[in-house]
Amino acid sequence: MKNKQLQRKIIDAVDRNRERIVETLQDLIRFESIVMTDPTEAGPGERDCQKYLEGRLIAAGMETDIWEPDADALLSKYRGKPGAQPNRTFLGRPNLAGKLRGSGGGRSMLLTGHIDVVPPGELTHWRHGPFSGEIEEGNIYGRGAVDMKGGVASMLVAAEVLRELHVPLSGDILFATVVDEEIGGMGTLAFADRGYQADAGILTEPTANRIAPLCHGILWGKITIDGIGGHAELKARHWDKGGPVDAIALMRFILRGIDVLNERWRTDPRKNHPLMELSNQIIVTQLRAGEHPSSTAGRAEITIDVQYLPSEKDNDGVGGAVRREVEAYVAALSQVDPFLAQCPPRVEWILDADCAEVTSDHPLIDTFSEACAAASHSFQLWGMGAHTDMGIPTVLAKTPTINFGPGEPSQAHQPNEHVSIEDLLTCTKVIALATASWCL
């Protein structure tokens, strides 16, 4: 957008709406839109949060669509594809879409995010109530402040400001907030399946206002190791004479093997990307073993989070090739130990969340570069180390989508999660400028 006068009007309007941005985020945080451990249950504030946003969209002149997806139908249609998760329900967990129509003939922009948040955890770790939206030293505190209601607040006010300024947009602005992102992305799958698409998209996940044109895919898996239980204080027999065989000792062996593989991946070109700060890793996130304080553990379980890059996706758009790579490694590792060679560990996959990449020569990247310059904000390309929902709109809905949002990503899921008001303001300016330029 070369119109400097319009750019100045947009920037000044966002500055005038500073309090609106702050109050919007506070309102959103106060909805306890928690994703439940049981995915067949609705979080206590998911519907109310979406209804609040729907009211704002209607007031901004948008056509709205709020619906509860059919999880069974989606799973049947997309089984094995990105976002298709079993055992879901959307009762009380609606998706929301809004459309601000342009005059016609221009490029459309999708502004999207999720409103579900992870549970707050131990409340004594919080300086303020996790759903209070308190302000301290220029920061807004609360669960979801960073991940990712801060981004939702920014994209909402950016769209409202463009509407109120009567910016002559030719293309449509498509606004979407989904549920279920924190447990697999089926809400975004439902959005794409409903037929919504645009010429480009902005997913306002926290990037510290860096442009992240790719993210990691993730695989959640569980490695189950069977030993032979027995009395821990007595001399053990050989394993083929009845044992016992300590599953915790076997677990240590597998964990050391994972460490070795991670070290190999650090320098493997297939496991690295120039925009990513770290190589792919197999991250051990949970351990479980043992039945009694005086008994040798008869079973152990290792829960893992395995990262993969867009270049590693299989023909279904997910991480099947990486799943097989991990399975083959665990099988080969087990051959080193005589007992594991006879009783190999079992690898079970719990979740496969896909990834995507928008290439640096896409015109949306140039649009963001210009918007950042107009907002006096440094332009930086960065690889999103965590998973986001960007793959589904990018691939399934043919909407090239980048991550761009306020807040330090490391704040996500932590107690005392907070985002600075200045980050929110900058993000809102860049989104408004980029959207106006794209849709003019």
Query: Residue 289: in which H helix or E strand, if any?
Result: strand 282-289
Q: Which of 32, 54, 181, 423 is catalytic?
A: 181
Residue with tokens 């799973």: 75
Sign of CA dihedral 55, 59, 60, 66: positive
Residue of 217, 206, 179 lying closest to 42 (CA atoms):
179
Phi, psi of 402 (to 5 degrees): -115, 160
- Specify whether 181 is catalytic: yes
d(CA 25, CA 17) in angstroms, rounded, equals 13
Q: Which two tokens stand for residue 69?
A: 């997806």
Burial class (CB in 10 A: 0-12, 13-18, 19+), 65: middle
Could you confirm whether 348 is annotated as catalytic? no
Question: Quick one: how far is CA 167 from the chain centroid?
Answer: 31
Question: Pairing state of beta strands 200-203 and 401-403?
Answer: parallel
Exactly one of 32, 46, 54, 116 is catalytic; which is it? 116
Q: Where are the alpha helices (DSSP H) in 33-122?
A: 46-59, 71-78
Residue whose C-alpha is closest to residue 420's, from 408, 432, 412, 434 = 408
Q: Write out the two tokens for 367.
A: 């649009």
Positive/negative CA dihedral, 433, 46, 192, 315: positive
Point out the residues that are catalytic.
116, 181
